[in-house]
A and B are shown apart, each in its own frame.
Chain A
């Protein structure tokens, strides 16, 4: 029995259940799992396809004492939830793992075909005998990762050694095109993107910080920020409600974009917003369970950036 499984099993002394991953028998990649007994945890895995942010389940398990396997970036979501009183720190055991950088499974499958086994060793990702450099298929957020060490952690369960982080990606594809757009083109871009929104709210359901759930303003009829119509203008407003409410809270886990069935590049907005917040307030979401998020506090010397 490996050390990772052993650590999870030991956690059961203190918790009711543990959130982690098992390998999907069909596709051979990791899928989220909830272990209720130590025996179930025998199947627990941690590899470079464990890209999901399991923290989304934490606020929904408020009544239970929960163990959760968390990568560095996931730990930021936990810290942010604790800072926002949405998660009781004393009822969570964070099993920190050191992440090697996660593979964008969708991207890999697009390269090699769906369901193909992925092997990841020695800086190369191999599938069906073909190999590519890891950087090619890494998740966008893993490029230039700053969160190898979990910010909040109760037990460490091994994982990868700290290798040289893949450098931040040069804007490519949609990012490159977006960066070059004029204001008018951007406006048109978002109008086109949001015209495809089917208002399924998968983005919100996948987001670990969207714990308002049923009360969410992007869906509520009262007071009527946006109607429920499948309509570019209404979806524009609804989506911006979520983006605005993520200000200073989004840790950039990319779950919303991954969940979007029509592929709206939500991270373009969130990344920009996170960058602005870091520039203005020197804050990254999930800085720590005790740190006040920037929009819930102020500094009378804020005018360093001057009156607009």
Chain B
């Protein structure tokens, strides 16, 4: 499957990762165009259900990125996020969703280059998963 048709959703915290993605843009770092970024105030705002909702709606991959542990703008939102998202990650195989389609990580406001690399790598990873197991979308009706 060509990467242009991949659909990847990213939940980025406003203070670190969104700013990091901005930084990558300011440095004109080329990235795959399959990512749609949704801005949230904090990775702690990301209800794991939003990730599942994205998969239900047919996302090929979901990325969540917050401030590095210890650097959360709100003190400890990313620590809560880490617990919730790790649990989610480990539940995905039970649901039959390849855990390679989901990634959570930490990118700071100054890590533009790291962000660009991350998007490239994650897109590649989703691409590989997609080749192995296409058609993720939960079908409405059983044919």
Contact = CB atoms under 8 A, between A and B. Distances in A.
Interface of A: 181, 183-192, 195, 217, 225, 231-234, 236-237, 240-241, 244, 247, 268-269, 272-273, 276-277, 280-281, 294-295, 298-300, 302-303, 305, 307-308
A8 to B, nearest CB: 40
Contacts of B89: 308
B7 interface: no
Contacts of A186: 93-96
Question: Looking at B90, B97, B103, B142, which has the most chain A CB atoms within 10 Å of its CB?
Answer: B90
Given A183-B93, A191-B142, A247 B87 contact: yes
Contact of A298 (B79, B87, B88, B106): B79
B55 to A, nearest CB: 9
Given A225-B53, A241-B49, A273-B91, A189 B83 contact: no
Contacts of A192: 142
A307 B140 contact: no
Interface in B102-126: 102-106
B86 to A, nearest CB: 6
B5 interface: no
B49 to A, nearest CB: 5
B31 interface: no
A272 B91 CA distance: 7
Given A183-B96, A184-B133, A308 B83 contact: no
Contact of B140 (A233, A281, A303): A233
Contact of B91 (A233, A276, A294, A307): A276
Contacts of A189: 96
A74 to B, nearest CB: 25
Nearest to B68: A307
Question: Looking at B56, B70, B83, which has the most chain A CB atoms within 10 Å of its CB?
Answer: B83
Interface in B67-103: 69-70, 76, 79-80, 82-91, 93-98, 102-103
A276 B80 CA distance: 16
Interface of B: 48-49, 52-53, 56, 69-70, 76, 79-80, 82-91, 93-98, 102-106, 133, 136, 138-142
B85 to A, nearest CB: 7
B92 to A, nearest CB: 9
B42 to A, nearest CB: 13
Nearest to A276: B90
29 contacts: A184-B133, A185-B96, A187-B95, A187-B138, A189-B96, A190-B96, A191-B142, A195-B141, A195-B142, A225-B49, A232-B142, A233-B138, A236-B138, A237-B56, A244-B48, A247-B87, A269-B94, A272-B91, A272-B94, A273-B91, A280-B90, A295-B80, A295-B83, A295-B84, A300-B70, A302-B82, A305-B86, A307-B104, A308-B102
